[in-house]
Structure 1
């Protein structure tokens, strides 16, 4: 099957679940239960979006949200808000190192949380050229520090001891 490129001329997207959409093509074909996925989630939120079925096979592709009609673009953005919900770390309260595993307690925009980090070299990433830091815990949850320069001095010191 050839790749289907979706824009406002070829089809419409409708949100049907927390992070699923239905694609209705202009020719009448309907593809249900598709999951939108960003191909570049850290650097580009509005371009290069794959629409995957339950087997994670690509059914269609969106080059740019700006090429969709407003309702379709909104459907994708709503799915992304749920699927890519990444708490923002605003303060590092404590860091403990036990046998190579880190235990962090942080304050986020969603409240205080404690989590473990197994591999500090792979799971704490400074996105070079930006002030952003992405942290992944042992359960594969992600957290973001949007701008490490805005952290208080103690939080920055704790963060940089592991970067």
Structure 2
């Protein structure tokens, strides 16, 4: 479906998103899903119904009216919890599995790095690190990390 301005989004009494088409057709419990959440977060957002079928395709999130975009961004922020690592404080061992203590944009935390394969390069300087509990952590630019953090990280790359 093309970017469709003939719909509205609202929240029901339970806080779930409800998609309402101009025809009056309603779909409760829709979920926004980014096509490219890391590489192009503003491009390609699908509104998916409870049956798992795409109901609306949004080409550019930034092209949506502010109120609609705000609802979508709120919901996406809840679904896409990816804390950004700002500093590595410590690692328990230089072999895996190891416990990492890190400072993120959401506060300090610890996670288990099960294998070195859980560190994935996104581009030349960006990384995505899968923690043992299923939380994904992002390093936006490893060259911007402090020297001690870079040294710890280089042991696993």
TM-score (norm 1): 0.84
Offset from partner CA, 1:59-90 (integer Å, 9 cap, x none): 32222223422211111111112221221111
CA deviations on 1:101-136 (whole Å, 9 max, x unpaired) are 121111112221111011221x1112124x221111
How do 1:65-144 residues align onto structure 2 when only pairs under 5 Å count?
Answer: 65-97=61-93, 100-121=96-117, 123-129=118-124, 131-144=125-138
Identify the residue that residue 55 of structure 2 maps to in structure 1: 59
TM-score, length basis structure 2: 0.87
Unaligned runs of 5+ residues in structure 2 are: none
Q: Structure 1 pair 22/139, CA: closer, same or farther in 2 (3 Å)?
A: same
Inter-partner Cα distance in structure 2 for 1:93 and 1:146: 17
Name the SS for the 2:81 alignment partner: coil
How many residues matched?
Answer: 156
- The answer to whether the Cα contact below 8 Å between 2:83 and 2:106 also exists between their aligned partners in 1 is yes
User: Which is richer in strand?
Assistant: 1
Distance 1:65 1:91 in 2: 31
Native 8 Å contact 1:102 1:120 kept in 2: no
Asked whether the equivalents of residues 12 and 69 of structure 1 are also in contact (C-alpha less than 8 Å), the reply is no
RMSD: 2.0
Q: Which runs of 5+ in 1 are unaligned?
A: none
